[in-house]
A and B are shown apart, each in its own frame.
Chain A
Amino acid sequence: MIEKILATIFFPGAVFLLAVSLFYEWVDRKLYARFQNRVGPHLAGPFGLLQPVADFIKLLSKEDIVPMAADRLLFTLTPILASALTLFACMFLPIAGPTGIISFKGDLIVVIALLSIYTITVYLAGEGSNNRFASIGAERAALQLIGYEIPLTLSLLSAAIAAGSLSVGGIVEAQAERGLWLIVGPQSIGFAIFVISSQAEMKRIPFDIPEAEQEIVAGWEVEYSGRRLALFRLSKDLELILLSGLGAAIFLGGPIGPVIPGLEPMLYTIYFILKSLIVLAIFTLVRALFARLRIDQMEFFSWKYLMPLAVILIILTEVIV
């Protein structure tokens, strides 16, 4: 019991996840900068590794303003809820073993549900701040959810069908038994759908429509500052690790790989981080390659191309299995 509590708090729980999520933010920023021919963060710490930490601490110390017109309850609750939800969802990731800290039959469905609830939190955060730009951003976030939620779910479910299990740990084990990653074969289409709709889930280019800086300033998060903004930033970092980790676990075989003598206790974590960094690099590449779509174009794209593709994939997987 105590072991479980310690695992939840320290490794691979909250403390470890927070540290890794800030590291992932650094990787994302640095890669993005290199793709754009920039230097990227390079001042705080070696190679600028501490830049996300410095940004986080800076935001914590900034003045925290609650607009008079805002809904105080929502305004206070949503940042906490957002970071708590993503942290909770990260507990399902197989980081220090073939299964996550929390694992049961059908936990994949819980992760998918948590992802949707996160977007709804964002919607509430935007509407609760009672600002013109935030309202439009929140509406866009909710509209976007309609577009990407089903393709994302279907892509994960088709992987679950192929593996014959509805839990993250089960899918990892099935891949280890087959000796082949799920991305090999028809599930590569699923991985592509997963990457695209994750980009929308994380509200990154080309789907950063809810927070389009040049159109609606910062969209749903425009009124947030100080600690509240820091929590939202943290939740975004955690979402980064959640989605790249989920991609690695479900499509790239999870934390299992060839045994390196001498490193056995750390092996799961090393493979997990390596594989999720590959997924993260793909996410960052996609972010550097496109312009922002308009909300109607995004809906059009996901319902005209992503949805049918996801349905075909499900049928294909069903036929093969």
Chain B
Amino acid sequence: MSFEIPIGPQHPIHVEPLMLRLSVEGELIVDVDVDVSYIHRGIEKALEVRPYIQGLYLVERICGICNAAHSLCYCLNVEQLLGKEAPPRAKYLRIVVEELSRIHSHLLWLGHYFHTLGFETLFMYFWRDRERVMDMLELITGNRVTTAYNTIGGVRRDLTPEVEQKLRRTLDYIEERMRYYEKVIDSEPTILARTQGVGILKPSDAVRLGVVGPHLRASGIKHDVRLDDPYSGHDEIPFNVITWDTCDCYARVKVRIKEVHECVNMIRYALDHMPSGDYRLKIPPFFKAPPGESLSRVEAPRGELVHYSISDGSDRPYRYRVRTPTLANLLSVVEMLKSRDGYEVYIADVPAILGGIDPCICCSARVVVADEARRRRTVMTLDDIIRISRDRGVERR
């Protein structure tokens, strides 16, 4: 006899509306259904009715935590449309901020992850150290969270020597703390009991389900956009792609902790080898992009982020498409949550497994529900929806 438990759309594990319908037998989960369509925000549509420069500020708000990755991806995309490339110094500065926000995202995730495991103390410690990173982001970019650092053709600000000094000190601090945390996590029996052997995702399944980012690397597959498709001078900076082959929640924690070390080293290298010159191309705020299409990929903290745009020669994109890493990773959650022969998942494992993908639901809602005002539901094809939305967009213009 199974019993249905709704995890969401409002639940303490998440501040975001995600619905997991669990069918449980006692504590054992037998079936899962996932629904992310609670906060469709229409950002892709909103991008189509704005000039490129305004779109920059909108994409940043797709996700507060990955804002640097989103704005970088957008800038790369538009620069590609324009056939321009950011100057070398801008590329290095972009890497500094990107990696710094990766550290901040990973620390946030680690803290939140231990909170979901009931380890409140470690949560507080991680978030306290994250504050140091946030302070550095504020010093470099002017903002704590929504950094607005990348702009089309470069970055908005240069790095001053004083800030660089402080940044180096912060990096030393973070490195030392991460060594301590790694020791804590490896020696704490309750953490090991809750993560080892939980939420196993085999490498073959991970590839089949299109998993990306640290989640994929925790399944032992060496995949990183920074390595496969160096987009901002990453081919000049040496770094290791961290993988772990236990394929469980423990692997996800380890990969992220080790990645923070890599980030620290990358920032140090970028600071040491910072090219001189301009940090920004002179591009007028309002411009028309030549017709064409472009695709850009960025390794966001959560995984591979893809932006795709079509230009019809006007001052705004004809179509803009965003594929966020969480959307790619959500399918694997369903796979990991189902008990199979010899693999048991309990209700208590749900936070550990769901948390393991670093979910960010607000950037994942995609479904358009066509519910007519006369309480009649009409089935619409994707083409219909695109046609209607485009017509309305034209009217507004």
CB distance from B190 to the nearest CB of A (A): 4
Across the interface, do A290 and B124 meet the contact criterion of CB distance under 8 Å? Answer: no
Give the residues in chain B near A136, CB-CB below 8 Å. 5, 27, 347
Across the interface, do A291 and B118 meet the contact criterion of CB distance under 8 Å? Answer: yes
Across the interface, do A296 and B27 meet the contact criterion of CB distance under 8 Å? Answer: yes
B193 interface hit (Cβ, 8 Å): yes
Across the interface, do B190 and A291 meet the contact criterion of CB distance under 8 Å? Answer: yes
Residue of B nearest to A297 (CB): B193
Q: Could you tell me which residues of chain A, from 112 to 151, have a CB within 8 Å of some CB in chain B?
A: 132-133, 136
Residue of A nearest to B115 (CB): A214
Give the residues in chain B near A88, CB-CB below 8 Å. none
A318 interface hit (Cβ, 8 Å): no
- Indicate whether A35 sits within 8 Å of B121 (C-beta atoms), given known contacts A215-B347, A290-B190, A295-B348: yes
B349 interface hit (Cβ, 8 Å): yes
B119 interface hit (Cβ, 8 Å): yes
B287 interface hit (Cβ, 8 Å): no
- Indicate whether A206 sits within 8 Å of B118 (C-beta atoms), given known contacts A136-B347, A214-B13, A215-B348: yes
Residue of A nearest to B198 (CB): A294
Across the interface, do A292 and B119 meet the contact criterion of CB distance under 8 Å? Answer: yes
Across the interface, do B119 and A290 meet the contact criterion of CB distance under 8 Å? Answer: yes
CB distance from A79 to the nearest CB of B (A): 22
Give the residues in chain A near B114, CB-CB below 8 Å. 291
- Indicate whether A294 sits within 8 Å of B11 (C-beta atoms), given known contacts A35-B121, A206-B190: no
Across the interface, do B190 and A292 meet the contact criterion of CB distance under 8 Å? Answer: yes
Residue of B12, B121, B125, B194 near A217 (CB, 8 A) is B12
Across the interface, do B121 and A288 meet the contact criterion of CB distance under 8 Å? Answer: yes
B177 interface hit (Cβ, 8 Å): no
Q: Output the residue of B3, B120, B194 with the most chain A CB within 10 A.
A: B120
CB distance from B75 to the nearest CB of A (A): 37
Residue of A35, A132, A294 near B346 (CB, 8 A) is A294
B128 interface hit (Cβ, 8 Å): yes
Give the residues in chain B near A132, CB-CB below 8 Å. 3-6
Question: How big is chain B's contact interface, by range?
Answer: 20 to 34
Give the residues in chain A near B118, CB-CB below 8 Å. 205-206, 208, 212-214, 291-292
Residue of B5, B6, B124 near A36 (CB, 8 A) is B124
Contact pattern, B 178-190, Cβ under 8 Å of A = 1, otherwise 0: 0000000000101
B117 interface hit (Cβ, 8 Å): yes
B311 interface hit (Cβ, 8 Å): no
Contact pattern, A 264-299, Cβ under 8 Å of B = 1, otherwise 0: 000000000000000000000000111111111100
Contact pattern, A 220-233, Cβ under 8 Å of B = 1, otherwise 0: 00000000000000
- Indicate whether A209 sits within 8 Å of B188 (C-beta atoms), given known contacts A214-B116, A288-B121, A291-B117: no
- Indicate whether A293 sits within 8 Å of B11 (C-beta atoms), given known contacts A36-B124, A136-B347: no
Across the interface, do B119 and A291 meet the contact criterion of CB distance under 8 Å? Answer: yes
- Indicate whether A296 sits within 8 Å of B3 (C-beta atoms), given known contacts A38-B124, A291-B194: no
Across the interface, do B188 and A215 meet the contact criterion of CB distance under 8 Å? Answer: no
Give the residues in chain A near B11, CB-CB below 8 Å. 217
A61 interface hit (Cβ, 8 Å): no
Residue of B nearest to A294 (CB): B348
Residue of A nearest to B125 (CB): A37
Q: Give A residues with C-beta under 8 Å from B.
A: 35-38, 132-133, 136, 205-206, 208-209, 212-217, 288-297
What 6 pairs across the A-B complex have the smallest Cβ distances?
A: A292-B118, A291-B119, A36-B124, A291-B190, A294-B348, A291-B117
Besides the known contacts A132-B6, A214-B13, A292-B119, 8 further A-B residue pairs in the complex with CB atoms under 8 A apart: A36-B125, A37-B125, A205-B120, A289-B121, A291-B117, A293-B194, A294-B193, A295-B348
Identify 12 residue pairs between A and B in the complex whose beta-carbon atoms are under 8 Å apart, listed by A's number. Answer: A38-B124, A132-B3, A132-B5, A133-B5, A208-B118, A215-B13, A216-B347, A291-B117, A292-B118, A292-B119, A293-B194, A294-B348
